[in-house]
Structure formats: structure tokens, C-alpha cells
Chains A and B, each alone.
Chain A
Amino acid sequence: MLLSKSLDLVHCLAPCPLSAADNMALDDVLLDEPGWFIRRTRWDSPAVTIGRFQQWPRSDRQDTSGLPLLHPFGTTPESPDSLPTVRRITGGGAIVHGEDLTIAIAGDCPSATFPRRRPTEIAARISAILAGLFDQTASSRQGDSKESSMQEIANCFGRQAASDVVVTGIDGPIKAGGIALAFRAGRVLIEASLRRDLLAADPADDLSRLVRLAKTLGLEPQQWQQGTDLLQGYWARKISDRVRNRFGNPHWNRR
């Protein structure tokens, strides 16, 4: 008799738009919670996230940053045009959020889904799957890339990495998506930002795309938990603690 392999269930989360600090706190919680999670991240206002070890981007250096004015989340901006900025727990460069499709996946590593704790392997696999979720012009950059030489470029979308999702432009590939990861105590968090304009990513299709992503990873999606309900009680306390201690703290964000 053939026994079918049981799939890991994945909790599907689509919370209401949140502040940058709440969003990063929720991802941080998911990294510590048992089980698999996939989420769509929405932003209550435009915001920037920067990489875990990234230097605070200098907005006056447009050549290397290409970023708007920034202020650490939790401080008063000097200009109304300035965007609140939160430091992620994942690596990589700065990303302007608000009009992108932002997603996160958290689960065990090593595991059947990710057998090895090898960042480049995981990122390349996610990149290839993400590219396949969109029109046929999207692909994963792949190949070798001397990524450490990109550290001086503040903006994630100004850097090149083998795990980029790219589309074909007149002058060559254009970065349409970036991936960053964090590993902690046998778990992995994968965050991805995808440019809706380049990928024709209609928000109405977000959740069905994420279900396809989960299934391609060999996970069994549960029903979507949407809106504000999932941010009550247990979750709210966890998020609040981490906002207070880390993601809402200007010293963490602009260290």
C-alpha cells in the first residue's frame, strides 16, 4: 500500500495594514512561533525598512541611496516628506514600502521544505518560485554575483544578487524583487519585496499567488486569517512587546 506523505500545514495570514514597526515585529514573532506561516504584509503609510547591519542611509547621497528623506520610526520627522524607517532582522538593503507586494514566510530549517541552512540555496529557490508566479517575462537572476561589493549601495533595488527576481528591460535585466533572510534557533524567516509595477502584480491576486507559493514549497495552506482579528490577544501582546523593545525604538532603528 502506498502511503502519501503528509504535508506541513501553513498558517496563512493577511492582516490589515500596519505600521512599519508592527509589521517587522509580527515577522519577528513568526520566526519564533512553532509551525509554518506565510503572510502578506500591508503598510498603513509609506515606510522604509533597512537591513539588520546596514548603515543608516544618507538621503543626501542620491547617487548611492536613491531613497527619500528618512527618519527613525519612533522619532518626529524634520520634514513632512520624510518616511518612517525601521531596521529589519533580515539582511540586505533599504526598501521603500507601500506600493510593493511584501510577503514573509517563516518555518523550520532544516526541514523537509528547506533541508539545508544554506542562505543562497533558499533564496535562489524562493526567487525562482516567485518569478514563476508572475507573467512569463519574470525570472530569477541566478548565476554568480559578488554581492559583498554591493554593500555600499543603500537601496536594495540598486543592488544585484543572484536571488533577485528580474524582468527584461531594453538595457538588460531590471530588478523587480529582492529577498532577505534571518535564521534563529532552527527557524528561517524569508522576507520578499516585489515591484507591482514591473510584475503587473494586481493586489486582487495576492492571496492566490501566495497559496501557489506555499503549495510549490510542499506546504498545505490553511484558510486565510484576515483583517484585525488575528492581531488580538496573544498576538497583540507579542507584537507590542517587540515594538516597545526593538522595532519602535529609535536606537535600534538608527544604530
Chain B
Amino acid sequence: MIDNIIIGKYVPGSTVIHRMDPRAKLLTIFLYVFIVFFANNGITYFLLGLFTFIIILLTKLPFSFLWNGLKPVIWIVGFTFLLHILVTKEGDMLFRFGFFSIYEEGLRQGFFISLRFIFLIFMTTTLTLTTTPIEITDGMESLLKPFKKFKLPVHELALMMSISLRFIPTLLEETEKILKAQMARGVDFTSGPVKERIKAIVPLLVPLFISAFKRAEELATAMEARGYRGSEGRTKIRQLKWGAIDSIMMASILLLSIILLLLRA
């Protein structure tokens, strides 16, 4: 059960991409999400694809990992593809069967939009596969720091996130324990009508919530006893290091953005 959780999908490694500063990765993804929408013709899509492909190659991850990331959303991709084919009625008609007609433009649009989706998912999957959740949190905290001026509780949000991440395995273990305890008492989680099965979850959730609250309270006490009093005057053991690779990555994504802007139709 613990292995199935998506957040634990980090694959340890020491490639260039693994070693990148999480801030650089996050900024790259952020820009990428925008420029994916710049692309609107063959050449721009080709360049975008090439960039994505090179990054994937650099991670040295087997393609199956990326495919796993794509799997949950493949239906959405397929659906958008179909929708575009059926709705867009421009260009030459390619095919007709009763009501249905497929136009050249529809096919083109459907294909490109699906590609956009796939590129986006590949890039974000690459991020989560090569970066630990805690690194992502650190990166976010650092990037959001300027927003502190606008009363955004950046440090608190980051701490909340890292504590949640740290407690996921603990709570999963607990869930399994409660599940087994309730099964031993005769609760049936796996068969019967949907309504019954939903009802069976209640004796799982109630003890889980009670214990989660208890844990939260104890953790708060422990943190207080260890002198935690908010972000003021706090130092950090985790350090982010911006290296040459990071600058190169930023330069290349910026360059790509400019090229795409120039070449788009």
C-alpha cells in the first residue's frame, strides 16, 4: 500500500538533472508551462519536443517511469483529442461517416493539443522523479520568500508541507493497522454494494482522525519544548546551491522561449 503512493515516486540518482537546484527546476517548469502554449506550428512543436526529449535523456530514467506518470491522464488526453476532431470544422474534410466528419484542421489541432498535454506531463513527472518532495518544498520556500512582504506565511507553509510529507508514511502505517484491526472485528471493506462499502470506511476514518489529532497535539508540544517559535531568528540546515548547471538550464529555457516566440505562426 505504501509503495503505491504517488508522492514517493522519487527515483534516487546522481545525474545532472538530479543534482540541479530545486529552484532552477521549479522556475524551468514554471516557464515551460507558459511556453507550451506559445507553440502552434510544426517547427515550434518540434523544438519544444526536442527540448523535452533532451531533458528526459539527461535524467537517464527508463521510459516506463514516464509512461506511469502519463497513465492516469491518458484518458483526458484521448478525450481532448476526440473533442477537437469532432468539434473543429475547418480546413479540408478528410473523412465522413453519417453525422461524423473529420476535418484536416480538427486532426491537426487534436494532435497538437494532445502533444501539449503529453509534454507537460513528461516535464512535471521528470521533476517529481528526480527531486525529493522535501527539496521541492525548500525550493518553493526560497522562491516565495519575496512574498513575505505581502504577509504570505512562507515559512509556515513550507513547514506544514514538510511535516505533512514526513507523516504520510506514519499515517499510512496507521491506516493499515486500523484496517486490519477492523477486519479482525468483522468489518468487510471489499465486498457488498457501494453504499455498504462507503459505510464500512467510517470505522476506519474515525480512529484515524482521532489519532491524527492526538499526534498533531503531541508534535506541537514537542516542537514548543524544542524552542520552536516561528520563523524569526531561525537558521536553516538545508542549503540550496545554485550551480553552473542551473544557470545553463535557465539560459536554455529562456532561449527556447524567445525562439518559440519568434517562430510561432
A is bound by B: no
Q: A-contacting residues of B (Cβ < 8 Å)?
A: none
Q: B-contacting residues of A (Cβ < 8 Å)?
A: none
